[in-house]
C-alpha cells in the first residue's frame, strides 16, 4: 500500500504553502490544508462505500470492514450529505443549475427539490457540458418536462416528493436528490477533477436507477455509456483547446 505523507512532510508542505514565517498565516494555511484533506478523504471513502453498496453489499458488511457500527456507517455515508450538503467545490454553472432546480420545483408547486428538478435545471446553462450532451441527443427542456409530468405532476406545495418528503432537517432536497449531489462529488474524484461540474451531476444520475431523472434520461434514449462517452469527448476537446 502506498504510504500517505508523514507528519514532517505535511508540516514542511504547509510551511512552504504559507510562504511566510508568520505563525498565524501558517496556522491558517494548516487549517485550510487539513480541512481540504479531510473533505477529499471523506469523499474518496464515500466513493468506495457507494461502489460496495452498488455491488449489493449490506450496511452490516460495510460497517464491519470500516470497524464501526451499522448505524454509524449509515449515518456518515447515507445521511451526512443530506444533512449538511457542501457545495464549495461546485462550479458556478453547477450552482446555477441547483438554483434553477429550486425555481423548477416552485413552478410545479413542489415543496422539495428532487432529481427531476435538478435535470430541468440543467437547461438554464445551455453552454454547460451537461446541457450540450442533452441537446446533442435532442433531449430538450420541453421533452424532459413532458416525460416528468406523469411521474411527478404539479401539485400542492405540501405534497410529498419521490422519497416521501424533503429530508428531515429542513433541507429542500429529497434523499435521492441529496445522494445524487454526493455522487457527483464521487464522479469528479473518478475523473481526477478537483471541482464538481454539471457533467459530474449528469453522470451521478445513473448511480440510482430508481430516480425520476434517471428514468426520464433512459426513456429519452440517453444511457450511461453514451453520456460518459460524450462527456469524455467534450472534456478532451476542451483540454486540446487550452
Do both 59 and 109 map to the same domain? no
Residues 144 and 183 in one domain: yes
Question: Going along 93-204, which residue ranges are E strands?
Answer: none
In a domain, 61, yes or no: yes
| Domain carrying residue 32 | 7-83
Residue 113 is given by DSSP the state B
Residues 6+ apart with CB under 8 A from 131: 122, 123, 125, 198
Residue 56 resides in a domain:
yes
pLDDT at residue 70, as a whole number: 74
Domain co-membership, 120 together with 64:
no
Count up the domains in the chain and report the number: 2
Q: Are residues 59 and 117 in the same domain?
A: no
- Is residue 1 in some structural domain? no
Helix extents (H) in 112-155: 115-121, 129-136, 141-148
Of the residues 28, 54, 83, the one at which a domain ends: 83
Radius of gyration over alpha carbons of the chain, in Å?
A: 20
- pLDDT, averaged per 10 consecutive residues of the chain (242 residues), comes to 75 90 91 78 73 68 85 65 66 95 93 94 96 97 96 70 44 84 85 90 88 95 95 91 73
What CATH number has the domain bearing residue 136? 1.10.1780.10
The three three-digit cell numbers of residue 16, written as one number:
512552504
Q: DSSP of 24-60, one letter per residue?
A: HHHHHHHHHHHHHHHHHHHHHHHHHHHHHHHTT--HH
123 by DSSP, 3-state: which?
helix
- Residue at 103 is within a domain: yes
Query: What is the three-class DSSP state of 164?
Result: coil
Which pLDDT does position 207 carry in this prediction? 84
Amino acid at each position: 500500500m502506498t504510504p500517505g505523507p508523514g507528519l514532517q512532510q505535511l508540516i514542511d508542505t504547509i510551511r512552504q504553502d504559507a510562504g511566510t514565517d508568520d505563525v498565524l498565516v501558517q496556522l491558517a494555511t494548516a487549517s485550510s490544508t487539513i480541512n481540504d484533506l479531510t473533505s477529499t478523504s471523506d469523499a474518496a471513502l464515500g466513493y468506495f462505500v457507494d461502489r460496495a453498496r452498488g455491488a449489493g453489499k449490506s450496511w452490516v458488511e460495510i460497517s464491519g470492514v470500516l470497524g464501526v457500527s451499522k448505524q454509524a456507517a449509515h449515518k456518515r455515508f447515507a445521511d451526512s450529505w443530506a444533512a449538511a450538503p457542501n457545495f464549495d467545490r461546485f462550479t458556478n454553472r453547477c450552482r446555477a443549475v441547483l438554483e434553477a432546480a429550486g425555481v423548477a420545483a416552485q413552478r410545479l408547486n413542489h415543496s422539495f427539490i428532487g432529481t427531476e428538478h435538478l435535470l430541468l435545471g440543467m437547461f438554464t446553462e445551455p453552454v454547460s457540458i451537461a446541457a450540450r450532451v442533452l441537446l446533442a441527443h435532442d433531449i430538450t427542456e420541453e421533452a424532459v418536462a413532458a416525460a416528468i409530468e406523469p411521474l411527478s405532476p404539479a401539485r400542492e406545495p405540501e405534497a410529498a416528493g419521490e422519497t416521501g418528503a424533503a429530508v428531515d432537517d429542513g433541507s429542500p432536497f429529497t434523499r435521492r436528490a441529496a445522494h445524487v449531489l454526493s455522487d457527483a462529488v464521487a464522479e469528479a474524484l473518478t475523473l481526477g477533477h478537483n471541482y464538481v461540474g454539471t457533467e459530474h451531476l449528469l453522470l451521478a444520475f445513473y448511480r440510482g436507477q430508481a430516480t425520476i431523472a434517471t428514468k426520464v434520461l433512459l426513456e429519452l434514449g440517453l444511457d450511461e455509456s453514451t453520456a460518459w462517452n460524450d462527456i469524455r469527448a467534450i472534456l478532451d476537446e476542451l483540454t486540446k483547446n487550452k
